[in-house]
Amino acid sequence: MTRPLRLGTRRSRLALAQSAGVAATLIAEHARDVELVEVTTYGDVSTAPLEQIGGTGVFVSALREALLRGEVDLAVHSYKDLPTAPANGLALAAVPPRCDPRDVLVARDGLTLAELPLGARVGTGAPRRVAQVRALGLGLELVGVRGNVDTRLAKVADGELDAVILARAGLERLDRLDAITEVLDPLQVLPACGQGALAVECRADDVDLLELLGMLDDPDSRAATTAERSLLQALEAGCSAPVGGLAFVAEGENGMELYLRGSVTAIDGSGAVRQSVTGSVSGAAEVGRRLAVDLLADGAAELMGARA
């Protein structure tokens, strides 16, 4: 009898929901039993801002170590949390179909971002969001927050904050879309590279499992996230940098093409550069690198180094 696959996951409600979705697909469509193995990561136990504790990798290192030790067979991550550099001994086995990657506002009294009064307190833990919202010039006070989705929503319900900015995908996976008061236009607030996507990892030498997990892969989601993360890597920026990126595959003049937009914004909102490029789906990584060259030529490095 084949033993159940051990799926490593963070302990948060959102991580468990994401992992349970992958497990359900493996059980229903590929007839494999799966058990969830909860792993505590450094990012889960620290209350410090992400940029202070390193940002990149703090939610994934413990899961990767469990994989390499053979304590779990696969791990499910929020793709935006993964470092852009490959991990020795591990393979990205699948990028399942991506959820809507946009940011959303959850505000008191059903307000939108533009309707919030001058000085309203808006919570977010992401420098990218802080920078882009400041650049809109709405006179809002951006407040650093940590904690899970429920904790952040409670700060609005309790009146501690007027609003919070979150990823729509997380609310969708927790069945909390009813809390959203506005879906933010990417032309104003560009999401994080890889936001809304999951990454399924396993050991690189587990050939049978790689083949099985490959059935979960969505080629368009993989191409889009590959381009976005290539952009991030070429900019030498981590997940806590004020960089936004969004790619999608769509019909072009010569068949299916990859469209990528990217932005870098000064943390104080005083300046920003935005560019977009188009390229082949098969050359997704090169599309990201090409956009990074354009952004750097426009002064992106100086903006990433700016401080509030």
pLDDT digits (tens, 9 = 90+) for 110-126: 999 999 999 999 999 89
Specify the CATH number for the domain of residue 73.
3.40.190.10
Q: What percent of the chain has pLDDT over 90?
A: 83
- Domain with 283, as residue range(s), is 225-304
Residues in Cβ contact with 266 at an 8 Å cutoff, skipping those fewer than 6 apart: 131, 135, 242, 272, 303, 306
- What's the one-letter identity of residue 233? Q
| pLDDT of amino acid 42 | 58
Round to whole Å and give the CA distance between 211 and 222. Answer: 16
Residues 90 and 208 in one domain: yes
Residues 166 and 206 in one domain: no
Indicate whether 191 belongs to any domain: no
Round to whole Å and give the CA distance between 67 and 7. Answer: 9
Indicate whether 188 belongs to any domain: no
pLDDT digits (tens, 9 = 90+) for 23-49: 999 999 888 899 999 998 655 444 444
Residues in Cβ contact with 94 at an 8 Å cutoff, skipping those fewer than 6 apart: 199, 200, 213, 214, 215, 216, 217
Residues 9 and 156 in one domain: no
Of residues 21 and 58, which shows the higher confidence score?
21
At 79 the three-state DSSP class reads: helix
DSSP state for residue 282 in the 8-state scheme? G
Q: Hunting for tokens 């904690």 — which residue is that?
A: 147
Residues 24 and 161 in one domain: no
| pLDDT of amino acid 57 | 62
| pLDDT of amino acid 236 | 84
Q: What percent of the chain has pLDDT over 70?
A: 92
Please tell me the least confidently modeled range out of 185-194, 216-225, 246-255.
246-255
Predicted confidence (pLDDT) at residue 160 exceeds the cutoff of 60: yes
| pLDDT of amino acid 203 | 98
Residues 67 and 146 in one domain: no
pLDDT digits (tens, 9 = 90+) for 247-278: 999 998 888 999 999 999 999 999 999 999 99
| pLDDT of amino acid 53 | 37
At 8 the three-state DSSP class reads: strand
Average pLDDT of the segment spanning 225-229: 98
Round to whole Å and give the CA distance between 99 and 112. Answer: 22
Residues 210 and 69 in one domain: yes
Average pLDDT of the segment spanning 82-100: 95
Predicted confidence (pLDDT) at residue 51 exceeds the cutoff of 70: no
Decide the pairing of beta strands 5-9 and 74-78: parallel
Round to whole Å and give the CA distance between 110 and 92. Answer: 40
Residue of 112, 160, 159 lying closest to 138 (CA atoms): 112
pTM score, two decimals? Answer: 0.91
Specify the CATH number for the domain of residue 261.
3.30.160.40
Indicate whether 142 belongs to any domain: yes
Indicate whether 190 belongs to any domain: no
Q: How many domains, in total, are found in the chain?
A: 3
| pLDDT of amino acid 41 | 64
At 160 the three-state DSSP class reads: coil
Residues 115 and 173 in one domain: yes
Containing 10, the helix (H) or strand (E) segment is none
Residues 69 and 210 in one domain: yes
| pLDDT of amino acid 252 | 87
Residues 27 and 154 in one domain: no
DSSP letter string, 100-158: P--EEEEEGGG--TTTSPTT-EEE-S-HHHHHHHHHTT--PEEE---S-HHHHHHHHHT
Residues 213 and 230 in one domain: no
Predicted confidence (pLDDT) at residue 50 exceeds the cutoff of 50: no
Which active-site residues does the annotation give? 81
Indicate whether 192 belongs to any domain: no
Residues 13 and 160 in one domain: no
